Amino acid sequence: MSIRRAQMHPHGIDLGHEIIPLWCGAMHYWRLDPSEWGAGLDAMRSMGLRLVDTYVPWGIHEQNDGSFDFGTRDPRLDVRRFIREAHARGFKVVVRPGPHINAELTYFGLPERIVWTPECQARTPRNNPVMLPMLPVAFPVPSYASRAFFAETKKWFAAVGSALSTLRFPEGPIVMVQVDNEGALYFRDGAYDQDYHPDAIGDFRRFLGEKYGSGEELSRVWSMPDLDLETVMPPVRFDATRASDLARHLDWMEFHEELLAVAMSTFREQLEESGLGGIPTLHNFPLGEAATPLNAARLGSLDLIGLDYYHRANPQEHPLIVRRTTELASRSEGLGSPAFAAEIGAGFPPFFSPIDEKDALYTLLTGLAYGLRGYNLYMAVERDRWVGSPIDAHGVRRPFADAFTALNEALERTRFHTLKRRTDVRLVMPRALRRLARATHAFGPVTPAVFNVLGASFEESCLEEELGLGEVATIEAEAFLRAFEAALIARGVPFAYAAGESLDASVAGARWIVCATAGGIKPAFLDQLRRRAQQGVKVTIGPRVPARDGSMRLLERPLDVSDFEVEPLEAIDRAGALVARRIEELGITTYAIDRDDAYVTVHEDESGAPRVVFVMNPTSETVLARVSVAGASHLVDAIATAATGSSFDLTSPRGARPLNREAGGFRVQVPARSVRMLEVAPYQP
C-alpha cells in the first residue's frame, strides 16, 4: 500500500485522495482564550476557508527556565489542542514556527535572551549590533549566518517537532510548514547595513573561493592587487567610481542572496530532523521583495514561495500588484505549484496606516485577477495589536466577512483554482540589474524595499552615475520594460513579468520574451534566452547589446545576438508599434478595455474557453467600461450571485439580468476602488 504524502500541485495541496485549494485564514491561538477557539474556527469555516494558518511563537512558548510550555502550565499555549479542534471542523493546518515570525510581537516572536546574545546578533560594518527600530521596542536582529543562532533554532525546532510531529499529515491535519518569515534580513536589508558577523564574513570568503577558485582570479576580477581568499573583506559602502569597481559590490549583493538561501535550507533541515518533514515547506516574501536579497531561484530547497500583500486600492499601487503577482504566477506555474498570497492583509496593526475593507478586497481580487491561485487571509480572526479583521476575537462574524464568504463561494463554483490566465508575453529584468540597483541605492539609511513598496522607480531611488558604462543601466533597463508594459496594456495583451534567475520556469509557454539588457548580462543567461529563440519563441532584447557580463566586466569578445531582435527603443512609441506587429504576427489574443484607468483579465479552463473575467477600477470614481472578451456571449457577476443566490448583475442599470454582449464588447459598470469578478455563463432571462 502506498503511503499518502502531502505535496504541492498547480491547484493547491495534493493529499493523494483530493486536492485542497489554498483558501486559508490566519488565527493565533495563544492570543485568544481557549474557550473562544471553537467559535473563531466555526466562523472561519462559515466563510468557506479550507485551511487554518497559525504561527507557533518561540518567544511565547519558551519559559524563563529554558523549558517549553505547550499547554501544561498555560492553556492558551496548548497548540496541539487548537490544531485538533481545527481538525475536528474539517480544516487542514499550516504551521509557522519561525524562528522569526514578526506577528507584531515584541522581538518578532524571538526570545529576549536570543536577541541580546552577542554571538547571535547581526553586525554592522563597525561591528555593532544591527538594530531594528520597530514598535513597541527596538531590538538587535539575529544573524542569518550565526552558528550560535543556528544551534539555538535547532533546540527550538526539536521542541516544536516533539509537540506537533504526530499531528502531521496523514495522521493529522498539518499539511504545510513555513520556514522562517519574511527573510529580508529583518527589514535591515540595505546593501551595506549587514551582515558583518564573523560567521558571515567567513561564509563570504568561502563563497568567493567557490566562485573564483583563487586569490589571483579574485584580484583580477576585482581589479585589486594581492587579494587573499583567507583575509579578503566585503565592501562596507558603495565607493565605485568606474565599471571595473562594480564586481566586488555585485558579489556582495549576490552573497546576501546566498546567505539567506543557506539559512533557509538549514532551517528546513532542522525542521525535518525534528519530525516535521514529509510535508511541503513554505516561505513568504514581504512587500518590496524585488529590492531585497530574497531570490526565489536560490530557495529551491523549499516547495512554495508566497508573497505578502498589504496594498491600497488606488492607481499608484495597482501596477505594483500587477508586477509582483505576474512574476510570482509565471514562476509558480512553470514549477507546477500554485501562486500563493501567504498573507493578504485584512485589517492592520494599529501603529501602521489603515488598510480598509475596500483595500483588502481590491488587493485580493486584483491578485486573483493576475494569477493568484490561493491566499491566506491575515488576519481572519482579530487579536491584540490588530484592527479590522472579518471575525472578532470572540468568533463573531462582522459584515466584512460576508464579502469573503461570497468570494469563496464564487471561487469554488467556478473552480477558479483550476483555471489559467494565458500570458503569451513575458517581460524580463535580469537579476544582475536588481543587484546593481541594490548596490547603487541612493538613500542609504532607508532600505531600498521602502522605495519599491512606494512604487518609486530606479530613477527616483538609484545613483545616477554612469561609472563609465555610457548609461545608467538600472534606469535605462527599467524605462525599456515600462515602455513595453504600457504598450501591452494599451492593446489589451495579457503579459507577465518573469524572474531573471528563474528564467526557464518563468517563461514556460511564452511566445514573445522582452528582456532588458542594459549594463551587462551573464553569458549563461543569454544562452537560456537563445535556447528559447531557437525553439521558436520571439526574443527581443534592448535597449542595447551588452558589452559586459553580469559583474559589469568587459567581455573578451562581442556577444552573438543573431538569434534575437535588438530593439534600441530610441522613441517611446516604438514599443507600441512593435506590440501591434507582434499581435498580428503571432496571432496573440487580446482583451481590450476602452478606458486607460481600468483593467481587464480573462481566465480560461483546460479547453481554452474563457470562464472568469475580472474588471478592475482602482480610481475613486465609478467607471463604465466596454470590455472585449472573445468567445463569451454573457457575463454574470459571480460574487453577487453567490451573495444573493440569484444569477444577476449587481450594478448594471438593467437590473437583474446578466451582461449581454454588445457591438464591440460588454459594457461593465465598476464602482470606485473595486473589482468585478464576472463568470462566463449561458444567458438566463
Assess whether 15 and 163 both reside in one domain. yes
CATH number at residue 603: 2.60.40.1180
The per-residue pLDDT for range 388-416, each reduced to its tens digit, is 999 999 999 999 999 999 999 999 999 99
Residue 683 or 59, more confident:
59
Segment 378-394 mean pLDDT: 97
pLDDT of residue 650 exceeding 60: no
- Retrieve residue 672's grid coordinates: 470606485
> How much is the pLDDT for 3?
53
Is residue 273, in this structure, part of any structural domain at all?
yes
Least confident window among 95-99, 449-453, 468-472, 596-600: 468-472
Gap between the Cα atoms of 664 and 592, Å rounded: 10
Gap between the Cα atoms of 440 and 460, Å rounded: 12
Assess whether 216 and 193 both reside in one domain. no
Least confident window among 1-15, 133-147, 510-524: 1-15
Is residue 246, in this structure, part of any structural domain at all?
no
> How much is the pLDDT for 1?
36
> How much is the pLDDT for 659?
73
Gap between the Cα atoms of 230 and 139, Å rounded: 32
Is residue 361, in this structure, part of any structural domain at all?
yes
Label residue 685 by pLDDT band (50, 70, 90). Answer: very low
Mean pLDDT score of the chain? 94
Is residue 465, in this structure, part of any structural domain at all?
yes
Assess whether 269 and 156 both reside in one domain. yes
For 222, the domain range is 199-240
> How much is the pLDDT for 648?
45
Most confident of 154-168, 445-459, 650-664: 154-168
DSSP sequence for 304-336 = EEEEEE---SSTTTHHHHHHHHHHHHHHHHHHT
Assess whether 472 and 570 both reside in one domain. yes
Label residue 498 by pLDDT band (50, 70, 90). Answer: very high
Assess whether 408 and 450 both reside in one domain. no
The per-residue pLDDT for range 559-572, each reduced to its tens digit, is 999 999 999 998 88
Is residue 592, in this structure, part of any structural domain at all?
no
Segment 416-422 mean pLDDT: 98
> How much is the pLDDT for 136?
85
Segment 159-168 mean pLDDT: 98
Assess whether 203 and 223 both reside in one domain. yes
Assess whether 161 and 118 both reside in one domain. yes
Segment 192-207 mean pLDDT: 98
> How much is the pLDDT for 444?
82
The per-residue pLDDT for range 245-291, each reduced to its tens digit, is 999 999 999 999 999 999 999 999 999 999 999 999 999 999 999 99
Gap between the Cα atoms of 112 and 139, Å rounded: 9
* % residues pLDDT > 70 (the chain): 96
> How much is the pLDDT for 197?
98
Segment 7-36 mean pLDDT: 97
Contact 447, 189 (CB under 8 A): yes
pLDDT of residue 654 exceeding 70: no
Is residue 593, in this structure, part of any structural domain at all?
no
- Find the radius of gyration of the CA atoms of the chain: 25
Assess whether 331 and 233 both reside in one domain. no
Assess whether 610 and 662 both reside in one domain. yes
- Coil, strand or helix at 210: helix
> How much is the pLDDT for 658?
63
Terminal-residue alpha carbon distance, the chain? 53
Assess whether 534 and 650 both reside in one domain. no
Last residue of a domain, one of 388, 418, 448: 418
How many structural domains are present in the chain?
4
Contacts for 355 with CB less than 8 Å, ≥ 6 apart: 310, 312, 345, 346, 347, 348, 388
- Coil, strand or helix at 356: coil
Last residue of a domain, one of 559, 586, 613: 586
Assess whether 42 and 126 both reside in one domain. yes
> How much is the pLDDT for 652?
44
Last residue of a domain, one of 517, 551, 586: 586
Is residue 245, in this structure, part of any structural domain at all?
no
Gap between the Cα atoms of 219 and 116, Å rounded: 38
> How much is the pLDDT for 682?
59
Segment 92-106 mean pLDDT: 97
Is residue 594, in this structure, part of any structural domain at all?
no
Contact 621, 671 (CB under 8 A): no
Label residue 656 by pLDDT band (50, 70, 90). Answer: very low
Output b/e per residue, 10-21; b: 16+ Cβ within 10 A. Answer: bbbbbbeeeebb
pLDDT of residue 627 exceeding 90: yes
Assess whether 187 and 88 both reside in one domain. yes
